[in-house]
Structure formats: C-alpha cells, structure tokens
Amino acid sequence: MKHRKFLTIALTAVVAFFWIVPGNVYGEVPKVLQLDGMVSEFSVLEARNAQFGTEPNPPGGGGPAYFVSNGRTSDRRYEFQFVLNEFIDATPYNYLVFEMMGDSYNIINDMNEHYPRFRRDSIYVQFQGSFLLRGLIDNELDGAARKWLTVAIPIAPFNVHANRANHQNIMSNVNIFLLRFILESRDNLPGRIYFRNLRLQQTLD
C-alpha cells in the first residue's frame, strides 16, 4: 500500500509538471500583441517626396494613427517600415492585423497587391496579402472614403510569399516589419493613407 501510495504521489507530481507548469508558461503569451506602443521608428522607404508621421486626430476618429502622403516610388511601390524598440518572438501568432484608411477612395483602391514583410537586418520573410486586401477594398469600402478597414494577413508558413527558409529564424527574433503595396496606377494620387492599431493575433476571434 505504501508503495502504491508513493507511485500515486509521484505520478501526480509528473502530471502537474507537464500540464500545469507549461500551461502557466504558455498562458503568459498574450493572445494579442499590440505593436503601436512598441514602434520606435516609422518611415517610408525609397520615396524622396514622402511626408509621414503620426496624426493625433485622423478623419474617421478613433485616436492617433500613422500617416503617409506622396509615399509612392518610381516602380509603383509603397513601403512603410515600422521598427520596434525591442526584438519579439512572433512565432506564437498567426495573423498580422492593422486598420487602414484613405483620404479618398482612389488612394486606397489604387493598392493592387499587398506583401507584408518581417525583417531582421537584411534578412526577411515576406507574406501574401493581395487577395485578402483586394477583397476588403472591393466588398467593404464600396467607393467610400475615410472609412477604416481592418486587414488581417496570415503570417504562418503556408502563407509565405518569399524566403520561406527564413520563416522560423526571422519570426522567432524580429524587430522590423513592413507594409508593402504594389500600386495599379503610375499617378501620384493626392491625399493621405492612415494606419493604426497594428498588432499580432493568435486567432481572429
């Protein structure tokens, strides 16, 4: 009986270690990791005439947002870079989520493709977001301006667009991400683009 009682206690301790302790550890990872407060630098790449910064009261309300105007490059790209004040482990998360809005419908409708990129130094992994972005623009904006869109792009390996081999290496220790867009028009459309509430999420619930 004493031997059986000892085994019961020992098994209980093992179960507690492998179930309760890791559960507490994993529970410390937030389901949503808000990135806005972690951004130490916001910039536009390769667009000499770009104006960018933060706007405390953007049209549409809802609090401060990042803004960009004249951010287009000569090959019809927008590349908006966010540098975090610390390295993060993004591997527990499945989605990059952000809200975006344009002063006009045309400035948003001109965005034909979308490829978010996570980077550390010069190494990066890039994801596919074109189909999801276009679906939101076509179905939710319906020609409206100054209306916030919530964009959620999968950042799991199945949705990698470029440099798949870098996924685990980059996402486990990353401090830079870019919102990259390929534009339809060659015209530099007037107005601002706004971004806010940038975050990583485990689920979309």
pLDDT, position 27: 55
How does residue 87 score in pLDDT terms, banded at 50, 70 and 90? very high
pTM, two decimals, is: 0.84
Residue holding tokens 């081999």? 165
Average pLDDT value for the chain: 88
Q: Two tokens at 50?
A: 């770009």
The domains of the chain are located at: 1-30, 32-201
pLDDT at residue 190 is higher than 70: yes
Please give the average per-residue pLDDT across 61-89, as a whole number: 95
pLDDT, position 187: 83
The vertex-54 CA angle with 52 and 173, nearest 5°, equals: 85
CATH 2.60.120.260 fits 32-201, yes or no: yes
Distance CA(106)–CA(101), nearest Å, equals 11
Give 24-51 pLDDT, tens digit per residue: 344 589 999 999 999 999 999 999 999 9
pLDDT, position 125: 98
Q: Strand runs (DSSP E) across the chain, as ranges?
A: 32-34, 39-44, 51-55, 65-69, 77-88, 95-102, 111-114, 117-120, 123-127, 149-154, 160-162, 174-183, 193-201
Instruction: Give the number of other Cβ atoms within 10 Å of residue 173's Cβ.
Output: 13
Give 102-151 pLDDT, tens digit per residue: 999 999 999 999 999 999 999 999 999 999 999 999 999 989 999 999 99
**Residue 82: strand pairing partners:** 42, 177
Q: Two tokens at 82?
A: 């966010």
pLDDT, position 153: 98
